[in-house]
Chain A
Amino acid sequence: MTDVPPAVVAQGLTKRFGAFTAVDHLDLSIATGEVVGFIGPNGAGKSTTIRMLCGLLRPTEGSAQVAGFDVGQQPEAVRAHIGYMSQKFSLYGDLTVRENLRFFGGIYRVPRRDIQERTRVAIAMAGLEGREDTLVRTLAGGWKQRLALGCAILHRPPVLFLDEPTSGVEPEARRRFWDLIHNLAADGVTILVSTHYMDEAEYCNRIALIDAGQLVAIGSPGELRRHELGGELFEIECSALGAGLAVLRQAPGVAEAAIFGDKLHVLVRSGAAGAGALQAELERKGIKSSPPHAIVPSLEDVFVQLVSHPHGESGRP
């Protein structure tokens, strides 16, 4: 992948709405065929970034190239080379499955000899065989999303932007959707997909964490788990969760403590006193606890850790 130019590049990409900075000097490079997950809390700037990359919003500062075209200078060329699924479902509910596909086929000027075949593939992909003449508004969420994806890739774009495509869709349908994404990636399509489901982040080649308009971290799920936490994560069972939490937060060497279900997750800074110290600390305050054991942090742990701290503060070596 090194000799192929990246499919998406952003340099210092910034978008301000009045005094509010939605996206703040974002740098990003996505290799061809890569699936990058875009993760961050609501309002972090995910949609704004995607819209700028699609040429729908003009960057206030910085620049971006998509499929080799500049989003500010050549938005039409960008549009011809991307597929986009907006956050809000955006097919025509009062048109049938086939009519929607035919419409986008016409808009994207899909070669006439290919249109039949691509429509058939899209219908099969969405699992809508036999329901071609159903009005789209009567379809359930999962079908709608897969059909929207089918419409967005009808012209075989090399780059695909999906803005929370699976929000509000049931788990089984989400899994099917991700199978489709991986099939596309296997065909060489570059995909940037935003989501707020942590389990979906695991399916990505790389994850870009964004918070308050800034890129907080980027890397493969494994890398993020290993490096970004800046310490070791322990799980402790104790008799009084609330009291235990309060104690551990004050304990030396503890970067972060949080309740996870009926247990406590405690992040101990690298090089700080070992796990035994945690239990001793609890004992001192009269709280019984199990011996802490090290656990592999989930992406959610990483995510919580990274966005709960102001940028550049503690928690990282």
Chain B
Amino acid sequence: MNPRRLLAIAYKETLQIWRDPRSLAIALLMPLLQMVLLGYGVSLDIKRVPLCVYDQERSQLSRELVERFVASGWFATTARLGNDRAIREAMDRGTCIGAVVIPIDFSRVFTTTGRVSVQTVFDATDANTTNIAIGYAQGIIAQTTTDFETRWAASHGLRLRSVGGVDLQPRVWFNEGLASANFIIPGVVAVILALVGAQLTSLTVSREWERGTMEQLVSTPVTALELMLGKLAPYFVIGLFDAAFCLCGAAFWFGVPFRGSIVTVVLTTALFALVVMGIGYLLSVRIHSQLGASQIALTLTMLPTTMLSGYTFPIDQMPAPIRAVTYLVYSRYYVTILRAVFLKGSSLQDLAAPVLALVFYAAVIVWIAARSFRKRLD
């Protein structure tokens, strides 16, 4: 291997990236766009669920209950209804996915018995969202009930005894706010790197085949290894730059807590970049068309990274055969590593297994990629 040839290729490639609007856009605009799109767009949190209120009583107490729904931030009242039929209509129109029905004797029952009773109706078309919304609603109603009962007891000169024997106080570690952003955004970095890395490199050799420059290049004494390293070097730098941008975005813009070491992140990111770029380069060498190579690169990187890396869909909840397949998905290891480093501050030793898996993948893919380039036309 000759360093001078390697440098000549790396320099040429850099000039070409710099002068190619398509490559530049993928390298510089894509991460920004994806970060905004995925960072803001993909959130498993449920906020401001549209809620209709059918308040049959319209008393001070009933209004207080509705107020508590709104104050929680999880619900937003979108309509006040006058009859039962209107609930169905509102759901059909999509005005709300849930309704609170407060009975006409709400206050009277409360003042005489100290108990409250309300009805909630939910549209379970989107079962996941509805489940979470029901959970929130139950929480609000339970809290309100307790408060009201305490108040009633006090007004009657009674002390409310604690009824249940166990008082459960759950505590959540690592992602204390249970914000799904903290869970998802580190994975977004993996998705972006997979997308950008493989897309850029999938064009690099196929472009030369398409333009006819490769025939000239293979007639020179350049070696397959020089070609691969020279071509990948500038993309590797771009990939690390993009990763740094996304990681900073995750930590500073989206406020995902970063508790681990930067070295661990840089090291594992470099490994992951090698894997995706190796895949892109391999495809570029094998498929002599830019379009074909970039399409297949998309299928081999973006698809498994979004679906099977556990970035949004938890691997634990997948059926066993699919779960087995995820072990083949290299991004799974990187997503695991990023999450652990961000939220738990895990060290390289803690992450030995996923890190070694990435090392293995990087080694195998780079080895295959280096060998796959043939300096022949047949």
Q: Which residues of A contact B (CB under 8 A)?
A: 17, 51, 54-58, 75-76, 79-80, 82, 84-86, 88-95, 99, 102-109, 151
Contact = CB atoms under 8 A, between A and B. Distances in A.
Interface of B: 2, 4-5, 7-9, 11-12, 15-16, 19-20, 211-213, 215-222, 375-378
A92 B215 contact: no
Nearest to A94: B19
Nearest to B220: A107
Given A79-B220, A91-B213, A107 B8 contact: yes
Contacts of A84: 216, 219
B16 A94 contact: yes
Contacts of A151: 216
A57 B377 contact: yes
A56 B2 contact: no
Given A57-B377, A57-B378, A90 B12 contact: no
A100 to B, nearest CB: 9
8 contacts: A56-B218, A57-B378, A86-B216, A89-B212, A91-B213, A94-B16, A106-B11, A108-B220
Nearest to B6: A106
B15 A107 contact: no
A95 B16 contact: yes
A86 B219 contact: yes
A-B CB proximity, top 3 nearest: A106-B8, A88-B212, A90-B216
A110 to B, nearest CB: 10
A14 to B, nearest CB: 13
Contacts of A79: 219-221, 375
Contacts of A17: 378
Contact of A86 (B8, B212, B221, B375): B212
A80 B375 CA distance: 13
B376 to A, nearest CB: 6
A55 B213 CA distance: 16
B221 A108 contact: yes
Contacts of A108: 220-221
B12 A103 contact: yes
Given A84-B216, A92-B12, A94-B19, A106 B211 contact: no
A80 B223 CA distance: 12
A99 B12 contact: yes
Nearest to B8: A106
B15 A95 contact: yes
Contact of A76 (B2, B16, B221): B221
Contacts of B218: 56
A266 to B, nearest CB: 44
B213 A107 contact: no
Contacts of A82: 219
Nearest to A17: B378
B376 A58 contact: yes
